[in-house]
A = this chain, B = another copy of it.
Amino acid sequence: MELHIVIHGRKDLANQVYEQLRESIESGRLAPGVQLPPSRLLAAQLGLSRKTISDTYSRLTYENYLVGKIGSGTFVNHLTAPTQRRQSAPVLASQKRIDAWQNLSLPLRHPTREGTLRHDFIGGATAKTQFPLDDWRRCTQHALRQMAQARGFYSQPEGVPELRKAIAGHIAFARGVNCVADDVVVCNGAQQALDLIARVLIEPGCTVAMEDPGYAPARLLFAAQGATVASVPVDDEGIRVECIPEDSHLIYVTPSHQMPLGMPMSLARRQALLDKARRIGAIIIEDDYDSEFRYEGRPTDSLQSMDGFGVVAYVGTFSKTLLPELRLGYAVLPATLREAVIQARQVTDWHTSTLPQWALAKFIGDGLLNRHIRRCHGIYAGRRDRILARLAGDLSPWMYAIPCTAGFHMAVMFKHPIDVALLVALMRKVDIGLYPLTGFYHHVPVRNGLIMGFGAIETLDIDPALDRLRDVLTQIA
């Protein structure tokens, strides 16, 4: 790779090279430790004499910008501290819109490695210690061999056939979803599935209905696309269908495990929702994000499998069964939407990287996903039981869980008014992460409570962490 230096005209050549190198080092563009090309090569590249370049290197070395190491070459000196780049702030035609994006409040950004707490009841994080890294490595090796056979072209926007088939088989078997491989579009997580479906449905100003409280990133996404998002209250059977506006183009729901409250949608409510969607011509997004983990009672039908009208788009993810950082999810689309979503996918970012697609196809095909889900199911069930036992026991004076049958988070409500922000802050001081429900509410009055995830916290850490919670509650409530 050539070092980027631009020569203008034929005058003052040594100085042109000198100025550009010095400026690059001062600005930090050429970082400390970077090796410069041998003077002979740079001279040839720029059509200058070798002496011009080596004189310039010498001058910069004398000025401490560069350092020569005998036998290995010339490097940018570690002693130089880059100066700040100066740029005026332009006045932009789109400034208002940029500001709106910048001020978006995203409640669910996960902490980075450095920012994590020792005991964390965060939602959406999985049991990483359980991740079958050796199996995944083997599947990735397999995927690399698949990749070697392809021709250096773009792949299919809808996903590689092997993975679409594996996903269709998996969800037909385990969730009774009514689909074949052709109905499946592979996405970068469920969030992208929502984005694509919304793109092909939402025109500015049209109405999208969703649960309140509900999944905040979905709300932000629909609003960002120009929709008017209608907040529909939920009761203990799920979304209140009669409150869904008649002019809704899209209805977003989480029937298996309401996000964030947790209760499943009743059968009657599901039927009413399907009937209403058909009547008003709306598409329903069924976000089935973590229903692979089900603990009690008989399974319920997915909305998608009850749908005789072709109005349900079923969205799933491997962020909960495997890892969020893999960014692998999917949509199962009714025939009416399929081509449109695939086109939107290509325009947005062409397709999901092929390597993880092939790895996942192999992982599912070899039965490793099922095995992993079984193992995690047992672990999550244990953690859930532990939390429920404490809530029914020594924590019962202050809080109770909303009954739910699936997933790996639960909503825990306070029995009496309490300063939740204070509680969260005090717990954070003892390295325990708790998360209020506040950010999930939009128009509906906030009920004081917590969303308690049990993916990231180890089973043995639950009791000590809840001991501290009890101690703090005793003090403040």
Question: Does any Cβ of B come within 8 Å of A344's Cβ?
Answer: yes
Which residues of A298-312 have CB atoms within 8 Å of chain B's CB atoms? 298-301, 307-311
Is there contact, CB below 8 Å, between B136 and A152?
no
Is there contact, CB below 8 Å, between B298 and A7?
yes
Among candidates B30, B149, B200, residue contacting A172 with C-beta atoms closer than 8 Å: B30
Among candidates B133, B336, B339, B370, residue contacting A1 with C-beta atoms closer than 8 Å: B370
Residue on B with the closest CB to A99? B340
Residue on B with the closest CB to A136? B144
The contact size tier of chain A is 35 or more
CB distance from A16 to the nearest CB of B (A): 11
Question: Does any Cβ of B come within 8 Å of A56's Cβ?
Answer: no
Q: How far apart sit A278 and B90, CA to CA, in the bound complex (Å)?
A: 7
Question: Does any Cβ of B come within 8 Å of A62's Cβ?
Answer: no
Is there contact, CB below 8 Å, between A309 and B85?
no
Question: Does any Cβ of B come within 8 Å of A189's Cβ?
Answer: yes
Is there contact, CB below 8 Å, between A201 and B98?
yes
CB distance from A25 to the nearest CB of B (A): 11
Contacts of A122 in B (CB 8 A): 153
Q: How far apart sit A114 and B107, CA to CA, in the bound complex (Å)?
A: 45
How many copies the complex holds: the figure is 2
Question: Does any Cβ of B come within 8 Å of A68's Cβ?
Answer: no
Is there contact, CB below 8 Å, between B356 and A1?
no
Question: Does any Cβ of B come within 8 Å of A206's Cβ?
Answer: yes
Which one of A90, A144, A155, A455 has the greatest number of beta carbons of chain B within 10 Å? A90
Interface digits, A142-158 against B, CB 8 Å rule (1 contact, 0 not)? 00100111111111110
Is there contact, CB below 8 Å, between A203 and B94?
yes
Q: How far apart sit A7 and B301, CA to CA, in the bound complex (Å)?
A: 10
Which residues of A132-180 have CB atoms within 8 Å of chain B's CB atoms? 133, 136-137, 140-141, 144, 147-157, 169-170, 172-180
Question: Does any Cβ of B come within 8 Å of A92's Cβ?
Answer: yes
Among candidates B113, B340, B344, residue contacting A150 with C-beta atoms closer than 8 Å: B113
Question: Does any Cβ of B come within 8 Å of A383's Cβ?
Answer: no
Is there contact, CB below 8 Å, between A311 and B90?
yes
Question: Does any Cβ of B come within 8 Å of A443's Cβ?
Answer: no
CB distance from A206 to the nearest CB of B (A): 7
Asked if A249 meets B94 with Cβ closer than 8 Å, knowing A153-B125, A327-B351, A349-B188, the reply is yes
Question: Does any Cβ of B come within 8 Å of A475's Cβ?
Answer: no
- Which stretch of A216-224, A228-236, A393-401, A409-417 is in the interface? A216-224
Among candidates B153, B283, B334, residue contacting A456 with C-beta atoms closer than 8 Å: B153
Q: How far apart sit A97 and B352, CA to CA, in the bound complex (Å)?
A: 24
Is there contact, CB below 8 Å, between B153 and A325?
yes
Contacts of A192 in B (CB 8 A): 348-349
Asked if A224 meets B344 with Cβ closer than 8 Å, knowing A176-B29, A203-B94, the reply is yes
Is there contact, CB below 8 Å, between A113 and B34?
no
Q: How far apart sit A354 and B328, CA to CA, in the bound complex (Å)?
A: 11
Among candidates B3, B195, B352, B456, residue contacting A174 with C-beta atoms closer than 8 Å: B3
Q: Which 7 A-B pairs have the closest CB atoms?
A: A128-B152, A4-B176, A101-B340, A29-B172, A192-B349, A87-B310, A110-B154
29 contacts between A and B (CB under 8 A): A1-B374, A4-B173, A29-B177, A29-B178, A29-B179, A29-B180, A46-B298, A92-B311, A93-B206, A93-B249, A94-B203, A94-B249, A98-B340, A109-B154, A128-B151, A133-B147, A137-B141, A137-B144, A150-B325, A155-B324, A188-B188, A188-B350, A191-B350, A217-B346, A220-B347, A326-B353, A328-B353, A355-B355, A355-B356
